[in-house]
Chains A and B, each alone.
Chain A
Amino acid sequence: MNMNSNTNNPNQGGFDQFGNNSFSIKEKQIESINRMLSLKASDSISSSKPGWQDVWKILIFDTYCSSIISPILTKGALRNQGITLYLPLHSDRQPIQDAPAIYFVLPTLDNIKRIAEDCKNKLYDNIYLNFASKLPNNLMEELATLTIQSDSVSMISKLYEQFLNFVTLEKDLFTLNFPKESYLQFNDPTIKDSQAQENIDSVVDSLFSVLVTMSVIPIIRCPKNGAAEMIATQLEKKISQHLLQSGVGNLFSNEMGSQLSSFYRPVLIILDRNIDLSVMLHHPWTYQALAHDILNMSNNRVKVDVTNDNVTKKVTYDLDSTSDYFWSANTGAPFFNVAGEVKNLIKDYTDSMEKLKQLTDVNVDLDSDDLSKVNENKSIGLGDLVSSTKEKKRLMDLHTNLATDLMKNIRDRQIDCFFTMEEAIITRTMFDKKELNSLITSPVVGEAGGKGTLEDKLRLLLIYYLSTKNIPTNEMETYEDALTKMGLDLTCLQYFKKTKAFNESLLAIVNQPSTSTKGASSTTTSTSTTASGFMSMLTGYQPNIETFASFFSQGVRSLLPKSKDLFVTRVVESIMDLKNTLDADYLYMDPKIQNKSNVPRRTTPFKEAIVFTVGGGNYVEYQNLQDYSKKSNKKIIYGTTELLTSKDFLAQIKTLKDHTN
């Protein structure tokens, strides 16, 4: 039930005893940011306990850097670093006396100009500049010229490059959020060369930063041809150039001996989105992935429809796996389990409420002596209990609302049906053609017997098309006709038809799904909507265990995703375990070896990997990789240019098709 890894991972301590070598990108990034904020240029800051603040600082950031900081550090955490104000760079800022300002920005011309202006206006005492990536020399010159003109060079106390231009969402998940519409950007044949080069440069730059932050020099693997190869070769060049130039004191060196870090070298697997497109269309069934796909979670923040007294309003929640134990335990859990867990959460809350009530309930019949004694004993720990109950209430509200909203969507669109069908198609198990037919051709949500939205139907059809080798033409036509009649734009399908030949050649590489999947074990209970129970849930917003329980036990299938590895996971497995199946198609690069003609191969399997998909990824893939890593006791960090929902992805495909015409 509980997907928490720590318990079923016996060898985990083996890595953790090397303290610094913990393979968590989030930890490393927080460490780097804290060091930046402490204004001390020493590594020891993380080990010593937070000292006392006597310098109060102001943090100034641009939009991108705010998206770096916000998922990992809250205002409270920033305040503990002595940050009093957090202001966007491009906003109206007023002068503040005797406080240094820390700038955390991307090196762009706009930002440089604004910084120079601030210097000129002498807004702050002094300025600490931190650039999220490498500051090009021409921009540095620009900054110098501008500040000399206003005679304010001395305002700038320090100038650092921080190598932090990537957004960490979980301890093993990062995204670049750049370039926007990344699938389009990396697959558009009409794109300008300069633009394409710029995209690749920025991705290489960010990946370099990831590696610097992790202090690792990995071995790089990537498929031949395509954007992934270009990125991999440029990244390799960049690393080996850096190593050559800076020698021992390079950015990758850390306190530990180099032998140890070379022993624990991970593999960086750069993949092209095109190797598996169906996963981008697949309906998710795990908690986090559902929140992303249905409710459009972005940067760990989700907007939920909350219905209270028949008034529906949007409430924004932050999902932080470090402070929210429920979220961190259930991100990868199938939705049905989450529903059960939410019930437990509510029960937990009611229990502690009961306890609180008992404590505060003063019995007047007692003698006054007894009373004071009782109160004395009670008051100890009462404050802690209140605050813990308050925290429980917050979590319970959050997850009840989130789960309810997801539930509503799942029920309305019958995502469970789509999910089972798609999973059967992808894993190539037997499925009921009739059900497929009914799912695709039935009317949309809102009409009688409607199943799914047009988008859902399109996703199902595309998955069916992509994963099945020979589909009878008349069958395809039936579906297409039905969908066109409903007013669906089939441009995306045409795009896939074009590229299918290409995809098939790639699919051939894949070994057939190794894990034998059992037939759909889920028994469909009555899916007929029990409107009354549902409505009572919506109105009874205040946690009502009875309704919640009945709500989830009725009509929802107890679906559990079958253990199956997605294509990307199979590639990662075969590379990490040094299976030879993919050797011919995947390049092997080692930035540490300067002699490129003869690169010695590694002979022991990898324990750690960084997987990066060029052109977008999603939580389904991330979750699948994490499940694999837990199973095989490896550590995998998943990164992508952009976390895409199916909707975004389809929109990009559509634009792509329009461009190619």
Chain B
Amino acid sequence: MVWSDRTSEFGNLAEAIRRKQEQNGVQLSQRKLSPANQKSQFSYAAAKISRGVFETSEKLTKLTNMAKNTKLFMDSSAQIEELTFIIKQDIQSLNRELSALDQYVKSSRQPNKQTGDHSETIVGFLNTKLISATKDFKDILEVRTESLKQQQEKKDSFAGYSSNTYSTTIDNPSGTSKTEMRHRNTQTRDDNILYKYDEEEDYDSSAQEHSILMPTELTTTNYTASRLRAAENISSTIHQLEGIFSQLANLVSQQGEVIERIDANMDDTLLNIGRGHDSLVTTLYNISSNRSLIIKIFLVLIIFSIIFIVFFA
């Protein structure tokens, strides 16, 4: 606690002084300042965009976590795609709103220069934030593309052995049944028969395996197609983002004062004050010389008119 709040103390003090003055008969207008006067359309819109960008960046973090997940069998591409789509929509609509706001600021007459500066800074600030969010988005998409690529490569390398993989997995249950059979038949059948049986069993299982493999292949193709779609989607999104980027880039260039200090203009100000003072002095000099001239003229006029009235009227 390194500060002290004296608001209430001040309020009490003000109330006390007010009462004292009222007792002394001083009438004070009891007009209450309307608190929370209506926020202007502009600041409402700015706050809305600000919140929008904030929410978008939160969604971005979510997306980042998902996109970084490169495990082969824990794919959440549907969710990722959905989220990407939402964020894209968000950024586009935010960008639209922001340019509308920018237009509004530029077109509407500001009551004074400082208010204008104020609004322009807000727009500029929102722009920078939106740009950084867009950049994050682009980075994430790039990461995603990369991970999709990697997954595809992995899959390709697996594809060569895929039937083997499936057969081993499917062999296992039949393997257990085989041993059971063996137990049952050890004493009655010789090794050859057993071998034959095994072959039969194998044939059976491979047929089984084939029937199972069919749908898997089908899903894999589906899967690859969906991946292709995702990749295409992403590249088109990146493309659209580039458009937004170039739009925003020129606005950001105006915001290059990040490392400036608040007293940066102090010296200029001092210089200007000095100049202002000088010109004031000159003006004063001019005015005073004018003044004496006017006085002289009027004096001449008055004397002349007096003479005229006295002697000629």
User: Which chain A residues have a beta carbon within 8 Å of chain B's beta carbons?
Assistant: 28, 32, 35-36, 41, 43, 51-56, 58-59, 61, 66-67, 69-71, 73-76, 78-79, 84-88, 93-99, 125, 135, 140-141, 143-145, 147-148, 151-163, 212-213, 215, 249-251, 253-254, 299, 301, 316, 318, 320, 323, 380
Whether B118 contacts A85 by the Cβ 8 Å rule is: yes
Whether A75 contacts B262 by the Cβ 8 Å rule is: yes
What is the CA–CA distance of A573 and B294 in the complex, to the nearest angstrom? 77
Whether B266 contacts A66 by the Cβ 8 Å rule is: yes
Given contacts A98-B39, A135-B6, contact A70 B118 (CB under 8 A): no
B221 an interface residue at 8 Å Cβ cutoff? Answer: no
Whether B118 contacts A99 by the Cβ 8 Å rule is: yes
Given contacts A85-B118, A94-B113, A154-B35, contact A75 B5 (CB under 8 A): no
Whether A318 contacts B261 by the Cβ 8 Å rule is: yes
Given contacts A140-B6, A215-B2, A318-B259, 6 further A-B contacts (CB under 8 A): A41-B5, A74-B260, A94-B113, A98-B43, A158-B7, A249-B1
What is the CA–CA distance of A141 and B10 in the complex, to the nearest angstrom? 8
17 A-B contacts (beta carbon < 8 Å): A56-B118, A66-B263, A67-B263, A75-B258, A75-B264, A76-B260, A94-B115, A95-B112, A96-B115, A97-B43, A144-B13, A153-B11, A157-B7, A160-B3, A163-B3, A249-B1, A380-B142
What is the CA–CA distance of A403 and B84 in the complex, to the nearest angstrom? 51
A-contacting residues, B2-60, CB 8 Å? 2-7, 9-11, 13-14, 17-18, 21, 28-29, 31-33, 35, 37, 39-40, 43, 46-47, 50-51, 53-54
A391 to B, closest residue via Cβ: B259
B122 an interface residue at 8 Å Cβ cutoff? Answer: yes
B267 an interface residue at 8 Å Cβ cutoff? Answer: yes
Whether B17 contacts A99 by the Cβ 8 Å rule is: no
B35 to A, closest residue via Cβ: A154
Number of B interface residues at 8 Å Cβ cutoff, please give it.
53
B138 to chain A, nearest CB (A): 10
Please give, as numbers and ranges, the residues of chain A lying within 8 Å of B35 by CB-CB distance: 154
Residue in contact with A151 in the complex, picked from B28, B50, B261, CB distance below 8 Å: B28
Of A54, A299, A323, the most chain B CB neighbours within 10 A belong to: A54
Query: What is the number of contacts between chain A and chain B, taking CB atoms within 8 Å?
Result: 166
What is the CA–CA distance of A155 and B29 in the complex, to the nearest angstrom? 16
The 10 tightest CB contacts between A and B, nearest first, are: A76-B258, A52-B54, A94-B112, A84-B121, A54-B47, A144-B14, A70-B261, A94-B114, A70-B263, A154-B33
Whether A97 contacts B33 by the Cβ 8 Å rule is: no
B191 an interface residue at 8 Å Cβ cutoff? Answer: no
What is the CA–CA distance of A154 and B31 in the complex, to the nearest angstrom? 11
Please give, as numbers and ranges, the residues of chain A lying within 8 Å of B117 by CB-CB distance: 84-85
Of A43, A75, A140, A299, the most chain B CB neighbours within 10 A belong to: A75
User: Which chain B residues have a beta carbon within 8 Å of chain A's beta carbons?
Assistant: 1-7, 9-11, 13-14, 17-18, 21, 28-29, 31-33, 35, 37, 39-40, 43, 46-47, 50-51, 53-54, 111-115, 117-118, 121-122, 125, 142, 257-264, 266-267, 269
Residue in contact with B259 in the complex, picked from A76, A135, A212, CB distance below 8 Å: A76
Interface SS of chain A: helix, strand, loop or mixed?
A: mixed
What is the CA–CA distance of A250 and B11 in the complex, to the nearest angstrom? 22
Whether B50 contacts A54 by the Cβ 8 Å rule is: yes
Please give, as numbers and ranges, the residues of chain B lying within 8 Å of A56 by CB-CB distance: 43, 46, 118, 121-122
Given contacts A87-B114, A155-B33, contact A74 B259 (CB under 8 A): yes
Whether B3 contacts A75 by the Cβ 8 Å rule is: no
Given contacts A151-B28, A163-B3, A213-B2, contact A66 B262 (CB under 8 A): yes
Whether B3 contacts A148 by the Cβ 8 Å rule is: no
Please give, as numbers and ranges, the residues of chain B lying within 8 Å of A51 by CB-CB distance: 54
Given contacts A52-B53, A54-B50, A148-B28, contact A97 B115 (CB under 8 A): yes
Please give, as numbers and ranges, the residues of chain B lying within 8 Å of A151 by CB-CB distance: 28-29, 31, 33
